[in-house]
Chains A and B, each alone.
Chain A
């Protein structure tokens, strides 16, 4: 600005000038998040729309950049629109450490700079253009963000030699002639980039013993963008937990249990001990791969994160955030972060800003715990992914499990209501503050998502369902039967909550675990003629045409524990009810026909006696309920019948 006036005086001399407005209009685009169908896109793998940003691209390597970018996505919006999805969840946009140990940051989860875009995908203008182009088509855009950690920006100088090396301790003894045969000296190996968790903080160590907290050494490697973080506030040792990598996860922790039992405690006490010690690791440890865990108990760190992600709402008009690694952060953080985002969005005039998180866990209690208080609006419904999509559709488990899972949403969950925070850490809780709540929050949040009438929606109504995603093997890898996938898709798009489809599902992609499940979308030629593509198109059309399927409540009409040759084995039926509209969804999850009856028991419905129904999944075939309002029909293998009152 010092001499800006002089510079501007020359402006009229030029032709070819394009003026870019640094500010953009902030818009409200969502009527009711339950109307939305999310499509998850890993930008680097979707479409290469600009060869000019193909730095370090190597198609041969699954873990390298492949060239996809925001322009590519813009170019394919017709395809996306034709599929029928209404919201895009795009992978992180911020600048990353370029590569580490032979793996590249094509996925976007290795933040180096919270405020700048990743040049592999375009510039800020292009990102804005993408969001604007989506909004012009009525498509919403959800940004994937990471608040738990940053990329591998520093190492722990355990041996204090100023080099990021691998440190070995011990000689593996005692050997013959050892003077301390009763004090084994095991051989231990630690990578200074990614040492194992230490509850005291990663300790420095030499042959003379431990010497306190290992210093953090921040790297300056601009060639791979491994440089101290931006904004500068994040360049601060105190903003990190510095405890090393998580080594024990919630589904194991036997080590802690055994340790506890060895000290004489009883089973229940040791189960609690195991849980809290494992949760401590999950929340305070570095994410595997040396992704350094932010100390979000530090108020300054929290404020730093709040500011950088408020920036992105304003910078590109996103409609929501998908929050990575939710379960690796404390509830207290989200009780502060989430309201700050909601209020900021509201202050910009953006309504219905939506935040949902990834707690990669099938534990309903853990998932639900993050939805209470003023935390996130919703979570990925991992429980349904494992219990229903894998357990029932993939593995042929009893459909009763789906009903039980549904009913568990309201099962009691004890939390510690400590101030505004609803913690799951009960051990340190004042007993008078223990409260019993449903597993998933059934209360709306201030400035949170609302329905068309402005009434608040609850986490129970907004669970995000998915069959697979970028972190798990694709459904067809685990269960290589496209008919099973298509049956699972029926449930995904007919059940309550918000469906989320991973890109390539419609093209029958079948990649295995990461990174094989992150295929290049362009190999499909973006065909729209495939059976699964058309199937999803049809399901989305039906969902859009029937408000009960989008916004309705849910009541199971038929599930069974039968998994053998029983006539109802594999059948699942539920009603979606919205006002006077009822849609009955009957899905046969197995490869043999199924009947909605067993013995004398026939499936009850809400349609009433002798109601004429049309099957909107099968070209309007009609059916009539019996005099008791029941319905006994056959459902073809791995298919469905979807009834509503005939119109």
Chain B
């Protein structure tokens, strides 16, 4: 108890700001409603791994944080992000929204008055994204982890290591075992944490005072999963050995910024192998005969950018994803090449910021469709008209909050329709899909430093 008091005193002494100055509050929100041509709820027509976010569902995040300590020796903050995805009570009438804790971590920076920093906790740990496709093409991790690094003026070198253990039979098994005092107690029998270690090396040149900036980022991940075994829960028989597993990912990013108002251009290339071909919040779906994921691979090439003037802007992005699963089959419907790209020209006429978005999705499997027995590339072409009000003094592509109406038409080819169940799914029958909706989107005060 005495130690706690001392700590509080220290905090009190070192803390220089007020509650208003130190409180961190932020939010991301996307809320709306929509219809299709039949009056049903509007829906995205997505056939690739990451499709246009324009018709994404409702999503909400709230950041609550606090600068808990600030001195010349360190600046420390805590941040908790709650999140919600799904239907709202006013839509489905269900009083059961499930709020997730999306982040909860403590970060200490400027340690000893230097660029050193450290953070620990549950954290989204991300680089740059392709906004239009809602994807972080190279570096995006979600772990319970620890990171330490150093930030120079033009260089960042963070090293991170974290774990995930998904509530999935691949990584976790709970068993009820005999207990002399009760009728059994639950134990964890299979406990496989995936450890992910990442290292970023980012170097920037220029960019000061509106000058052209260039950055190069090299990135790598190492994924490790220990061995374990799974048993049948009713008899504890027939152990399924789950061998240890590994994977790695290597990536590079080249970025430019300040070549125009809010202008940026990023290109990425990354290659992931084995376990790392599946992100840390998913489990491998394909294995070799040793039940290892080592033969999975994923290659991504991506780009994104924004160019704008005071009255006009163009936001764009795209990626190519070549995925080969781990079963060793060459002719395999599960091996795919996906391509998606989107471009959004937009006018900035004061608050009125109408936009048009065109996108394409293309997905080609390496095998025959199991029902049509044809090897067909699926494609979706989409054109959207987005009259919007953006509430900013000088609106740009990324200015928010925004209220917008959306009309989108999507054209699906036969192979795309075949991605939907042939029986009982009306989507299989509709090569043309209309989307009419209204959305609000905002972000502000993000304290996360994702």
Binding site for B on A (CB under 8 A): 1-4, 6-8, 10-11, 13-20, 22, 48-52, 58-60, 71, 116-117, 119, 123-126, 129, 227, 315
Contacts and interface: CB of A to CB of B under 8 A. Distances in A.
**Candidate in B235, B335, B339, B368 with the most chain A CB atoms within 10 angstroms:** B368
A48 B240 CA distance: 14
B431 A16 contact: no
A130 to B, nearest CB: 12
B289 A50 contact: yes
Contacts of A7: 362, 376-379, 413, 415
Interface string B322-353: 10111101111101010100000000000000
- Ranked nearest first, the 5 interchain pairs of A and B with the lowest CB-CB distance are A18-B366, A3-B413, A7-B379, A125-B331, A14-B337
Contacts of A125: 329, 331-332, 367-368
A119 B370 contact: yes
A59 B331 contact: no
Contacts of B325: 52
Nearest to B411: A3
Interface string B401-417: 00000000001011100
Nearest to B379: A7
Given A10-B379, A18-B335, A51-B289, 6 more contacts: A4-B413, A14-B364, A49-B289, A51-B287, A51-B291, A60-B232
B82 interface: no
Contact of B381 (A3, A22, A116): A3
A59 B368 contact: no
A132 to B, nearest CB: 11
B38 interface: no
B365 to A, nearest CB: 9
B377 A22 contact: no
A227 B424 CA distance: 12
B299 A16 contact: yes
A315 B320 CA distance: 33
Given A59-B238, A60-B235, A60-B238, A14 B322 contact: yes
Contacts of A129: 331
A124 B370 CA distance: 8
Contacts of A8: 377
A153 B190 CA distance: 38
Contacts, number: 112
B186 interface: no
Contact of B413 (A2, A48, A123): A2
A4 B414 contact: yes
Interface in B172-198: none
14 contacts: A3-B379, A7-B376, A10-B379, A11-B377, A16-B322, A16-B324, A18-B335, A19-B375, A20-B375, A22-B368, A58-B232, A58-B238, A119-B370, A125-B331
A123 B379 contact: no
A124 B364 contact: no
Contacts of A10: 339, 360, 362, 377, 379
Contacts of A22: 368, 373-375
Interface in B352-408: 360, 362, 364, 366-368, 370-371, 373-379, 381
B71 interface: no
Interface string B253-295: 0000000000000000000000000000000011111010000
A48 B287 CA distance: 13
B167 interface: no
B4 interface: no
B343 to A, nearest CB: 16
Contacts of B153: none
A22 B381 CA distance: 26
Contact of B327 (A3, A6, A50, A60): A50
A17 B299 CA distance: 13
Q: Give the dominant DSSP class at A's interface.
A: loop
Contacts of A6: 379, 381, 413
B5 interface: no
Contact of A18 (B286, B330, B339, B431): B330
Contacts of A20: 331, 366-368, 375
Interface residues of B, number: 47
Contact of B423 (A2, A58, A227): A227
Contact of A116 (B335, B366, B371): B371
Interface string B287-308: 1110100000001000000000
Contacts of B21: none
Contacts of B208: none
A71 B330 CA distance: 13
Given A2-B413, A3-B411, A125-B331, A17 B371 contact: no
Given A2-B414, A6-B413, A22-B375, A17 B366 contact: yes
A11 B362 CA distance: 9
B359 to A, nearest CB: 13
B289 A124 contact: no
B373 A124 contact: yes
Contact of B320 (A13, A18, A71): A13
A489 B235 CA distance: 41
B20 interface: no
Interface string B207-242: 000000000000000000000000010010110000
A311 to B, nearest CB: 10
Contacts of B360: 10
A17 B371 CA distance: 21
A146 to B, nearest CB: 21
Nearest to A119: B370
A582 B353 CA distance: 96
Contacts of A4: 376-377, 413-415
A423 B367 CA distance: 46
Interface in B123-181: none
Contacts of B339: 10, 13-14
Contacts of B371: 116
Nearest to B232: A60
Given A7-B379, A123-B367, A52 B331 contact: no
Which of A4, A14, A48, A52 neighbours the largest number of chain B CB atoms within 10 Å of its CB?
A: A52
Nearest to A75: B289
Q: Which of B285, B288, B370, B371 has the most CB of A within 10 A?
A: B370
A117 B235 CA distance: 33
B427 to A, nearest CB: 16
Nearest to B334: A52
Contacts of A13: 320, 339
Nearest to A3: B413
B364 A17 contact: yes
A58 B374 CA distance: 33
A152 to B, nearest CB: 19
Contacts of A119: 370
Contact of A17 (B235, B337, B415, B431): B337
Nearest to B375: A20
B286, B325, B366, B378: residue with the most chain A Cβ atoms closer than 10 Å: B366
Nearest to B330: A18
A54 B446 CA distance: 45
B212 to A, nearest CB: 30
A126 B331 CA distance: 8
Nearest to A125: B331
Given A11-B377, A13-B320, A60 B237 contact: yes
Contacts of B375: 19-20, 22
Q: Which among B287, B327, B330 has the greatest number of chain A C-beta atoms within 10 A? A: B327
A526 B331 CA distance: 28
Contacts of A126: 329
Contacts of B327: 50, 52
Output the residue of A2, A6, A51, A71 with the most chain B CB within 10 A. Answer: A51
A66 to B, nearest CB: 11
A322 B339 CA distance: 45
A72 B309 CA distance: 62
A123 B368 CA distance: 9
A314 to B, nearest CB: 11
Contacts of B288: 51
Nearest to B372: A22
